[in-house]
Amino acid sequence: MSYLIKSLVITLSLLLSTSVFAGNTSYYGSKFHGKRTASGSIFDMNALTAAHRTLPFGTKVQVTNQKTKQSVIVKITDRGPFIRGRILDLSKAAAGQINCQLCTTTMEILSYGDGKYRKE
């Protein structure tokens, strides 16, 4: 199955299912700062972005720390996390806004991105 078909299947299944997910969230920062993300953009640890395994690039999600109830809106620009049991990797700035190094969050999809690769 081609990547485009897989992306369409994933997107359609997400649209038909719930838009709120819960799980463990972590952050990534200085080690990846200035490097190209899977979407083609340059990672800025000071921007409000995140990595998710399957959501289309450009998707906006509201992430809420379940302990502190603080929320932040981020854009999906990268793939990950690659550690079992985690649903999101936040940029350092986004993690700082909700006081999360490794925390349990809910993730609500606000709008779906177009999934396009963008080389900036």
Q: What is the pLDDT of residues 8-44, one digit of tens each?
A: 666 656 555 567 889 999 999 889 999 999 999 999 9
Residues 118, 47, 62, 110: what is their CA dihedral angle, to the nearest 10 degrees? -30
Q: What is the pLDDT of residues 36-67, one digit of tens each?
A: 999 999 999 999 999 999 999 999 999 999 99
Contact 22, 106 (CB under 8 A): yes
Question: Are 99 and 69 spatial neighbours (Cβ–Cβ below 8 Å)?
Answer: no
Shortest CA distance to 95 belongs to which of 24, 21, 22, 27? 27
| Mean pLDDT over the full length of the chain | 88
What's the CATH class of domain 3-111?
Answer: mainly beta
Question: Cα separation of 106 and 5, whole Å?
Answer: 28
Beta-bridge mates of residue 24: 86, 104
- Listed by start position, the domains of the chain span 3-111
Global pTM?
Answer: 0.83
